[in-house]
Structure 1
Amino acid sequence: MNVEFLGTGGYHPDAHRHTTCVLLPDRGLCIDAGSAFFRAPDRLSEHGVTELDLVLTHAHLDHIVGLTFPLVHIERGTLTAVRIHGRKKKLDAVREHLFANDLFPIIPQVYEWLPLPDVESGSLDVAGGTLHFREQTHPGGSLGLRFDADGKRFAFCTDTVPEAATADFAADADLFAHECNFPDGWEDLGARTGHSTLTPTLDLARQVRAKRTLLVHVSPGACDPADPVGLGDVTNPPPFTAVAVDGLQATL
């Protein structure tokens, strides 16, 4: 299982990171279509993949804006189908607002909108594996995701706060990616915006016992882009934990 982190920032892109987009290129599976989604069609083409299953964790703008980007690839025929999975309410909001005639008048005809089952947690077979989802704490809601295939487990939980249920959901993952939007000291803003700070996120990672942990969806307001959440100041982080950067690739 190959996982590529095309966009690892949150809120808005900056000179160092685009907003959320994670691609499993050889499987034609993508999580979120943030500003980094412009990178996805070329990566798919390099793997000879022309169809994509795209899962939206939620519909905040920094996770969906890229849906307006791939028109050239669609016109060229290098991207022939995009199946968009998400909560029905979120898919409806994207179609009504992002693709409103006054904002962006073309809804690509290759887009297929596929609501997930209306349950708190569930699963579906996709991209040669099983995608599990569960509702998370975040303003407006968001989905935590886990993709199991070929004996490997990849868990991705962004736009949320560390929750006890996540430890069971992501337990023993080969790769665990969890948002860490703020460093310690920003707990008040984290609570108001539904985002995570460093120490609780690392505590959760210890409970998950993943082989590798990546911190994602980091704030573009960080003073040090190389270490935006202060991970380098932690004396005993969970094993094999790092802050993700755009372009990072992991093979499970």
Structure 2
Amino acid sequence: MSATVDVRQKSAFASDQEIERVRRATKARPPIGSPFDLSPEALDAMEARFDQLSSGEMCKASLSARRAATSGNLYYLKSHLAWAINYVRTCNEAGRIDLDDEKTQAAFTFMQMADHLFGRWEHHPLFSLISKSIVLEYPHAVTQLLAATYLSDLGTTTGFNNPADFSGQSPDLFINANPLETISLEVKAPQELQWPSPCPSPAALEDLLAKQIHKASKQITGEWGRSGFRRFVGK
């Protein structure tokens, strides 16, 4: 700048270099596209990687999943990832993987989705806030990361909120509309839409959607988010 800047309202300044530095550190990286290996060694390596990224939560969850399976609980989904890896291990031990089986399809989906999202976001400075959730709160954490991934791939930089920065409930994500205003984004993963629950009817789905939107309204912050919610619900 070659002259004095007269600032009369709220303003912010940032260099192009700083903006690019932040974007490199916070946007989703390109997908890796590695082969999906189901060998016992590959499953052990996947579990160890997830355990490292989740600060030890993966191995604890896997132990619980194995105990549940041994006792006959075939749908112990306290940790979807632990259940999936243990299920595929059981199939390997039996010498047969049935690709038409619903449980096999679900296990593959859980594992591939987590591996894909870990690869795209593990570089993020706030990834440690989410990595444990992928192990312990899989449906919500994956939905949150998928929303951020789609937005990032379309060129919209999305931020992850740190719940410690809020006194009450906080939105999952945000978009900086400008240097001084943000748009809140909240994702929901209701139990009714999670496997193995049956698919709800159109009427039940509409009712469920309305309830989730009203729940989310309590977590939307900032005028951009509130005004968008009011327009959506017609209030």
> Does TM-score exceed 0.5, indicating one fold?
no
TM-score interval, normalised by the smaller of the two chains = under 0.3
TM-score by length of 2: 0.27
Q: Which has the larger radius of gyration?
A: 2
